[in-house]
Copies of this chain bind each other. A is one copy, B any other.
Amino acid sequence: MKAPTFLEAGEVAEYTRRIDAEDIAAFARISGDDDPVHTDADFAARTAFGRCIAHGAHVMGLLSTTASMMSRRSVARGATGTPVSAGYDRIRFTRPVFAGDTLTARYVIEEVDDGRARTRARLEVVNQDGATCLVGTHVLAWVMPA
């Protein structure tokens, strides 16, 4: 069977981006989560973190970018379905992300299930010091044309 995903285990997509205070404020506006630990420097200074931290779902957004890089690669190779994010498993925020941090999101295909038109990827986000801020897995699924 011709693989409907056109992806292979071991393939990697990476995306690097700095998270600025303005980005965190924009995420707060879009999501509605304007908790002061994210948006109020004076408040955040009195928490265990000492500084404003990025939202977890914001950090996951960088992984969304890597998943889209992978899905475009699949389509460019001939996949006929529409690749779509099916879900995330066991996401853990292992270290806070602060304004000014430069993050690298890494997406590594671990399993390819051509029969079900799905792939599973290992996720990692590291900061400018190489410290891991997020780990988890992602499932990409190909929706076939009707």
Assess whether A27 is interfacial by the CB under 8 Å rule: yes
Within the complex, the shortest CB–CB distance from A139 to chain B, in Å, comes to 8
Q: Are B33 and A68 in contact (CB under 8 A)?
A: yes
Q: Are B33 and A61 in contact (CB under 8 A)?
A: yes
With the chains together, A72 CA to B36 CA distance in Å?
10
Q: What is the count of identical protomers in the complex?
A: 2
With the chains together, A146 CA to B81 CA distance in Å?
51
Name the prevailing secondary structure of the A interface residues.
mixed
- Interface residue stretch chosen among A1-9, A86-94, A124-132: A86-94
A139, closest chain B residue (CB): B92
Within 8 A of B (CB), among A32-56: 32-33, 35, 37, 47-49, 53, 55-56
Within the complex, the shortest CB–CB distance from A22 to chain B, in Å, comes to 9
Chain A residues proximal to chain B, CB less than 8 Å: 15, 17, 23, 26-27, 29-33, 35, 37, 47-49, 53, 55-58, 60-65, 67-68, 71-72, 81-82, 84-93, 96, 136, 143-146
The 3 closest A-B pairs by CB, nearest first: A31-B61, A35-B68, A87-B92
